[in-house]
Structure 1
Amino acid sequence: MIILNQRQQELLGMVQREGHVTVEALANHFGVTHQTIRRDITLLADNRLLQRIHGGASAQSSVENVAYNTRQVMCIDEKRRIAKLVAEQIPNHASLFINLGTTTEEVAKALHNHHGLHVITNNLNVAAMMCNYPDCEVIVASGVMRPRDMGIIGESTIEFIRKFKVDYGIIGISSIETDGTLRDYDMREVRTSDAIINQSRNVFLVADHSKFGRPSMVELGPLSRVTALFTDQAPPEEMAAVIKEAHVELYIAP
């Protein structure tokens, strides 16, 4: 499992946002040598987090996500801060969906002191965590299990979700484009998230800053479909008007 230092995380975020960055620009930005930046790029490329090109680095493919065990440790402090803020907005005795993703799993951890929750999830990691919480009922969706992240997906998962109407839907996402379009990598995941949005009275989207402007292939819909966006940094300036027009509440974790 790769653990990135702060510079490597920021470097990865810059490449994801800008699409392509030169070694020289990165070295100037971080105040380190070209050799240090090349080592960082090699490490990130070897772990399929970006693509090494002549003179710099470019964003990873828009059709394939980063490996699950790598995502577990990427921006982990940011995800935990986001999760704590989300947990503060969830009352006891609430009903909620929690979908796939490493940030939603951190939300599940942050809810450990809540009582009387009714949780429907297609994430077996979340189910295993929350089944021991005080007076917490966990309902696991039916479907096909995906071994790499213990997620449950498929047509039966969508049909199962449609049987419920809950107070809060907690969803993650792989990409938020500057125009507010939400995107992910897997059509089956997107269809499941779509069902969760439709069956939730309030939709909380959890996304750390690395998700802004990141390339991803499958469209989930506009940002206006969610009630609130929880993140760790102010979104890019060009997104401010989009968030306001979408009437989405913005929460930035301290």
Structure 2
Amino acid sequence: MNPQERREQLLTWIARHGTASIQQLAQVLHVSEMTVRRDLRILQQAHLLQSIPGGAEVKKSATELAFDVKRRLHRDEKEAIAAKALELIDSDMTIAFSAGTTTWAVAHRIRGFQQLTFVTNSTNIALELQQNGWTQIVLTGGNFRTPSDALVGPFAEYTARHLHTDVLFLGVHGLDVEAGMTTPNIQEAAIDRVLIEQAQKVVVVMDHSKWGIKALARIAPIEMVDAIITTRTPHVQAHIAACERLGIEVFTATLPDQGSKEEPV
């Protein structure tokens, strides 16, 4: 495990438990307490954690991490997923993005196409697209909420309901065959449902940690998904097989140490 992977695991563990002591983290990660202290110091300097006596905690709301924190988790996976997602984009498309860090990673990579129009309820994604030189960007408007930095509420839903898109790249907090796609926030689930309804094709982009997770609010049943782009790890094979039995096309994005081949599962 390299230092970046170790710090991601450290962040994830603290996020799930609220707080953690240095001794606990050393036992969980099988490293020395000195290594944990060094990692905590780096994460605190990056404003991802805050120090408490003998340990650390991460700021969160309703089990949901802040955008900047989530963007750093599973970064290699998100970059590989984003690269794979570009294969589903053609010039002259209208592309929708739900709010999220994996969808942001896709938006960050979009270059070299002609006449693309974008629809999103994410302020971060809109700014990223603008910085990359894109001009046809439609923000839904609505109430701004953190930690996801998404626009939600009746106005956002009204706007999205009057826009038709060729493809939606959808980020989720969890995906389960029975529970469907879920998120911790009820308002965000509502706007995501509208984005799904208005898209000709729905593509879920998610790292391996989202499989089998059931968050508070259901976005939509899994039957609404046309394709999933994810990364291959041993424990997700049963989930992937279940999706394929439902007729969902599942693509795996290969990480750098897994070779260069990328193909449907």
Q: TM-score, normalized by length of structure 1?
A: 0.77
Q: Per-residue deviation at 1:64?
A: 2.3
Aligned residue number for residue 251 of structure 2? 251
TM alignment of 1:32-71, pairs within 5 A: 32=31, 63-71=62-70
Q: Is the Cα–Cα contact under 8 Å of residues 170 and 203 in structure 1 kept in the other structure? A: yes
CA distance in 2, matches of 1:165, 1:36: 51
Instruction: List gaps (5 residues or longer) in structure 1.
Output: 18-25, 49-60
Equivalent position amino acid for 1:69 in 2 = D
CA distance in 1, matches of 2:210, 2:37: 23
Aligned residue number for residue 174 of structure 1? 173
CA distance in 1, matches of 2:113, 2:98: 18
TM alignment of 1:110-189, pairs within 5 A: 110-133=109-132, 136-146=135-145, 148-177=147-176, 179=178, 181-189=180-188
CA distance in 2, matches of 1:80, 1:168: 19
- Any idea what SS the aligned residue of 2:166 has? strand
Aligned residue number for residue 192 of structure 2? 193
Q: Deviations over 1:127-179 (max 9, x none)?
A: 12223555641111121122544321111111110101110011100012364
CA distance in 1, matches of 2:209, 2:228: 14
Between the two proteins, the alignment pairs up a number of residues equal to: 245
Q: Is the Cα–Cα contact under 8 Å of residues 180 and 222 in structure 1 kept in the other structure? A: yes
Equivalent position amino acid for 2:220 in 1 = G
CA distance in 2, matches of 1:11, 1:212: 20
Q: Is the Cα–Cα contact under 8 Å of residues 62 and 185 in structure 1 kept in the other structure? A: no
Q: Is the Cα–Cα contact under 8 Å of residues 211 and 239 in structure 2 kept in the other structure? A: no
Flag the 1:34–1:230 CA change in 2: closer, same or farther, 3 A: same
Q: Per-residue deviation at 1:63?
A: 4.2
- Any idea what SS the aligned residue of 1:97 has? strand
Name which structure has the greater RCO, CA cutoff 8 Å, separation 6+.
1
Q: Is the Cα–Cα contact under 8 Å of residues 240 and 250 in structure 2 kept in the other structure? A: no
Equivalent position amino acid for 2:97 in 1 = I
Equivalent position amino acid for 1:194 in 2 = R
Equivalent position amino acid for 1:111 in 2 = I
Flag the 1:135–1:105 CA change in 2: closer, same or farther, 3 A: closer
- Any idea what SS the aligned residue of 2:200 has? strand
Q: Is the Cα–Cα contact under 8 Å of residues 16 and 215 in structure 1 kept in the other structure? A: no
Q: Per-residue deviation at 1:10?
A: 4.7
Equivalent position amino acid for 1:199 in 2 = Q
- Any idea what SS the aligned residue of 1:5 has? helix
Q: Is the Cα–Cα contact under 8 Å of residues 62 and 217 in structure 1 kept in the other structure? A: no
Q: TM-score, normalized by length of structure 2?
A: 0.74
Q: Is the Cα–Cα contact under 8 Å of residues 203 and 228 in structure 1 kept in the other structure? A: yes
Q: Deviations over 1:3-49 (max 9, x none)?
A: x73134357779999xxxxxxxx9899664699789989x99xx68x
Q: Per-residue deviation at 1:189?
A: 0.5
Aligned residue number for residue 237 of structure 1? 237
Aligned residue number for residue 209 of structure 1? 208
Greater mean deviation of Cα atoms: 185-194 or 223-232: 223-232
Aligned residue number for residue 20 of structure 1? none
After superposition, the CA RMSD in angstroms is 4.0
Give identity over the alignment, percent. 24
Q: Is the Cα–Cα contact under 8 Å of residues 179 and 239 in structure 1 kept in the other structure? A: no
CA distance in 2, matches of 1:7, 1:39: 11
Flag the 1:82–1:240 CA change in 2: closer, same or farther, 3 A: closer
Q: Per-residue deviation at 1:72?
A: 1.6
Flag the 1:68–1:100 CA change in 2: closer, same or farther, 3 A: same
CA distance in 2, matches of 1:221, 1:178: 11
Greater mean deviation of Cα atoms: 236-245 or 5-14: 5-14
